[in-house]
């Protein structure tokens, strides 16, 4: 049990939008912390436009709409270093947790920065200029200001130490987990899903925002090579929001002549995504850079084999339960697709290993790790 009583959680990422990885991390860990410490009070700080209620029924979680809408980096700075310090004093907050790494540079209260990764440092060209400036100017300051830093993989820990010159003893790895909703389904249900989305055909699945960092273009190129070598009528299904100019993706699809072989579904709710993932021949996750990689755990939970990048945190999170490839090597990606289609024993072995890897991760363990930091 923690000795402190009042904890504030900077949760502006829950601002009435589709919840991404950091948003889900915020929701899951806040709930588990509240269950772990019923005598503590957790103040979830959101902006005035926040309308959701992810914490209904938890008497020690209090949603506080103290901020004007956060829609610009200048507002971030103003709120964090004017309104936020006053709130912490008035409400006798013991510790502030910045779930997306953002802290107050002016408060004297204890603070924990949850820095998931430094993709904005390594891939600045994938961000608008104003966001790029904000992240690369202020996150080094937040990292130094924090009393403790939590991050989601050993890869990210090493990256923060190297990039920001932070003492390794200041950083704790807390990991993530898959939602409990993800589970395998029987063959009859799988066929229903294939009939619904791919006209009954087997398919590979990509999950994640359609963004250059996710390396969708090389995945499509590899899939084209796969089709050239196989007579099977496989499809490639893309699930996720477009967060970038999508013209290059559609131009590539047209150029390669695979318009009838690629299904773009956009964002899908968890319940249906579970079924789509569980019915896939494999998850193909070729991201260039990830701090963690939750879709890998979701695939393990649904008994779906994984082909993933051998870069950043993905080696660590997938363990020995995935086929790993150089995300820049289109031919190698294609060969791994062929390997899974040609070898049922290889698929079954990966599914078994994935179940073992999955047992290492849970939101309860994540919350316990954060609790220890507090």
Q: Parse the chain into domains and list their residue ranges.
A: 6-174, 187-358
Nearest CA to 104 out of 17, 12, 22 is that of: 12
Q: What spatial distance separates the first Cα and last Cα of the chain, rounded to whole Å?
A: 10
Phi, psi at residue 284, to the nearest 5°?
A: -110, 110
Please tell me the predicted confidence (pLDDT) of residue 231: 67
Query: What is d(CA 270, CA 83) in angstroms, rounded to the nearest whole number?
Result: 35
Q: Are 61 and 26 in contact, with CB atoms under 8 Å apart?
A: no
Query: What is d(CA 308, CA 296) in angstroms, rounded to the nearest whole number?
Result: 8
Q: Where are the beta strands (DSSP E) in 181-230?
A: 203-207
Name the 3-class secondary structure at 343.
coil
Please tell me the predicted confidence (pLDDT) of residue 3: 63
Please tell me the predicted confidence (pLDDT) of residue 4: 65
Q: Are 117 and 143 in contact, with CB atoms under 8 Å apart?
A: no
Instruction: Name the CATH topology of 187-358.
Output: Rossmann fold (3.40.50)
Eight-state DSSP code of residue 91: T
Nearest CA to 146 out of 113, 99, 192 is that of: 113
Please tell me the predicted confidence (pLDDT) of residue 69: 67
Q: Are 203 and 280 in contact, with CB atoms under 8 Å apart?
A: yes
Q: How far is CA 111 from CA 63, 95, 266, in A?
A: 19, 6, 37
**Nearby residues of 112 by Cβ (< 8 Å), 6 or more positions away:** 95, 96, 97, 98, 146, 147, 148, 149, 150, 370, 373, 374
From the candidate CATH numbers 3.40.50.1580, 3.40.50.2300, 3.40.50.2000, 3.40.190.10, the one assigned to the domain spanning 6-174: 3.40.50.2000
Please tell me the predicted confidence (pLDDT) of residue 361: 97
- Tokens 């179940």, residue? 355
Tens place of pLDDT per residue across the chain (374 aa): 456 689 999 998 887 667 888 999 999 999 999 999 999 999 999 988 788 889 999 999 999 988 666 667 778 888 899 999 999 999 999 999 999 999 999 999 999 999 999 999 999 988 888 889 999 999 999 999 999 999 999 999 999 999 999 999 999 999 999 999 999 999 999 999 999 999 999 999 999 888 888 999 999 999 999 999 876 789 999 998 876 666 788 899 999 999 999 999 988 999 999 999 999 999 999 999 999 999 999 999 999 999 999 999 999 999 999 999 999 999 999 999 999 998 999 999 999 999 999 999 999 999 999 999 99
Domains 6-174 and 187-358 share a fold: yes
Query: What is d(CA 155, CA 178) in angstroms, rounded to the nearest whole number?
Result: 19
Query: What is d(CA 32, CA 361) in angstroms, rounded to the nearest whole number?
Result: 14
């Amino acid at each position: 049990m923690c000795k402190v009583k009042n904890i504030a959680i900077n949760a502006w990422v829950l601002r009435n939008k589709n919840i991404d990885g950091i948003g889900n991390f915020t929701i899951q860990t806040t709930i588990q912390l509240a269950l772990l410490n019923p005598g503590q009070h957790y103040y979830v700080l959101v902006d005035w436009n926040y309308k959701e209620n992810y914490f209904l029924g938890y008497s020690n979680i209090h949603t506080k709409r103290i901020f004007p809408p956060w829609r610009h980096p200048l507002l971030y700075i103003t709120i964090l270093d004017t309104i936020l310090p006053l709130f912490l004093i008035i409400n006798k907050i013991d510790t502030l947790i910045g779930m997306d790494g953002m802290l107050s540079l002016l408060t004297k209260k204890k603070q924990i920065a949850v820095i998931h990764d430094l993709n904005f440092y390594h891939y600045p060209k994938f961000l608008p200029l104003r966001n790029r400036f904000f992240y690369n100017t202020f996150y080094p300051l937040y990292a130094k200001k924090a009393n403790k830093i939590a991050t989601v993989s050993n890869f990210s820990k090493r990256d923060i130490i190297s990039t920001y010159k932070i003492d390794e003893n200041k950083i704790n790895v807390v990991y993530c987990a898959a939602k409990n909703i993800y589970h395998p389904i029987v063959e009859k249900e799988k066929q229903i899903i294939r009939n619904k989305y791919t006209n009954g055909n087997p398919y590979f699945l990509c999950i994640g925002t359609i963004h250059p960092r996710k390396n969708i273009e090389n995945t499509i190129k590899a899939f084209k090579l796969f089709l050239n070598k196989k007579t099977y009528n496989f499809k490639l299904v893309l699930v996720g929001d477009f967060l970038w100019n999508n013209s290059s993706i559609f131009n590539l699809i047209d150029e390669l002549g695979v318009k009838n072989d690629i299904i773009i579904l956009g964002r899908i709710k968890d319940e249906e995504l579970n079924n789509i993932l569980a019915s896939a021949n494999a998850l193909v996750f070729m991201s260039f850079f990830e701090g963690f990689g939750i879709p890998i755990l979701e695939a393990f939970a649904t008994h779906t084999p994984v082909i993933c990048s051998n870069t950043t945190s993905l080696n660590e999170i997938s363990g020995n339960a995935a086929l790993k490839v150089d995300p820049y090597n289109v031919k190698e990606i294609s060969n791994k697709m062929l390997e899974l289609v040609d070898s049922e024993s290889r698929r079954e072995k990966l599914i078994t290993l994935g179940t073992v890897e999955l047992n290492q991760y849970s939101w309860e363990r994540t919350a316990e790790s954060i609790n220890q930091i507090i």
